[in-house]
């Protein structure tokens, strides 16, 4: 449950930035264009911007981050639908989202936010067929794992106008070279794997780390661990559950 608030907030921020074309508007101003006097130049930047209220957000992966995103999106008047094949229907209803198939989510959503954990089963869950099902006015947001989408297919979709744009906190390989094809596209926003960060999340991970060290010194099993198979031996030798 570490930094889940930050990732949900970042996902919503990318949705809003894409929807309102914030970066393009900023660049237009820096080129000397401003409002109505420069309306002919600005129309290329403004068009198309749609009202967010009443549009549909589709969430792929309805874990803690996905569920935290729901009230943030509804605060802007978005309808929220979600796809997660591992959860019972009541989880969606209790969180304020409508459970749908992946196919329906792709076809109905104006914004698609990927918030799933990466597994071998869902690697490249989104390929060219999936991007072709999306609306040409839709935006793709990924603050989860880059490999959930086929990056070449994403580039093709963005370059050919199959979708309107993307907000990406990650790319394949966790780094990006200046000659990366996606960097050449004007309809992509990058945030350099920053969704996890806040001053609060930094303090929290330190506090939790030190807390776990303290638990081990007291002979207690840590709350964060990666090797549960050694728990019995640890408790037998050092302490208590």
Contact 18, 139 (CB under 8 A): yes
What pLDDT tens digit does each residue of the chain (241 aa) get? 789 999 999 999 999 999 999 999 999 899 898 877 888 888 888 889 999 999 999 999 999 999 999 999 999 999 999 999 999 999 999 999 999 999 999 999 999 999 999 999 999 999 999 999 999 999 999 999 999 999 999 999 999 999 999 999 999 987 888 999 999 999 999 999 999 999 999 998 898 888 888 988 888 888 878 888 988 888 888 876 5
Domains (ranges, CATH) in the chain?
A: 4-190 (3.40.50.720), 199-238 (no CATH)
Our measurement of the distance from residue 49's CA atom to the centroid of its chain's CA atoms, rounded to an integer in Å, reads: 21
Q: Which of 180, 193, 208, 215 is catalytic?
A: 193
Distance CA(95)–CA(69), nearest Å, equals 10
Q: Annotated catalytic, 21?
A: no
Give the 3-state secondary structure of residue 105.
helix
> 124, 174, 200, 207: which is the annotated catalytic residue?
174
Whole-prediction pTM value? Answer: 0.89
For residue 145, indicate whether it is catalytic: yes
CA distances for 110 relative to 26, 50, 154, 240, angstroms: 23, 10, 16, 51
Instruction: Look up tokens 């930047």; give the residue.
Output: 45
Q: Which of 21, 24, 67, 145 is catalytic?
A: 145
174 belongs to the catalytic site:
yes
Q: DSSP readout, 46-64?
A: HSS---STT-EEEEE--SH
């Amino acid at each position: 449950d570490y930094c889940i608030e930050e990732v949900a907030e970042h996902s919503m921020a990318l949705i809003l930035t894409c929807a309102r074309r914030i970066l393009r508007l900023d660049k237009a101003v820096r080129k000397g264009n401003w409002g109505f006097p420069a309306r002919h130049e600005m129309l290329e930047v403004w068009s198309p911007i749609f009202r967010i209220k009443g549009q549909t957000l589709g969430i792929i992966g309805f874990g803690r981050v996905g569920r935290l995103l729901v009230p943030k999106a509804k605060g802007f008047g978005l309808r929220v639908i979600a796809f997660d094949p591992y959860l019972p229907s009541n989880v969606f209803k209790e969180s304020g989202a409508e459970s749908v198939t992946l196919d329906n989510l792709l076809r109905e959503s104006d914004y698609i936010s990927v918030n799933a954990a990466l597994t071998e089963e869902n690697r490249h869950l989104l390929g060219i067929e999936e991007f072709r099902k999306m609306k040409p006015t839709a935006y793709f947001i990924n603050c989860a794992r880059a490999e959930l989408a086929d990056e070449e297919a994403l580039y093709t979709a963005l370059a050919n106008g199959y979708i309107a744009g993307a907000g990406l906190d990650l790319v394949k390989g966790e780094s990006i070279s200046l000659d990366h094809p996606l960097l050449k596209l004007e309809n992509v926003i990058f945030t350099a794997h920053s969704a996890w960060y806040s001053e609060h999340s930094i303090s929290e991970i330190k506090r939790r780390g030190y807390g776990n060290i303290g638990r081990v010194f007291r002979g207690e099993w840590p709350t964060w661990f990666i090797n549960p198979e050694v728990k019995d031996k640890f408790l037998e030798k050092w302490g208590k559950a």
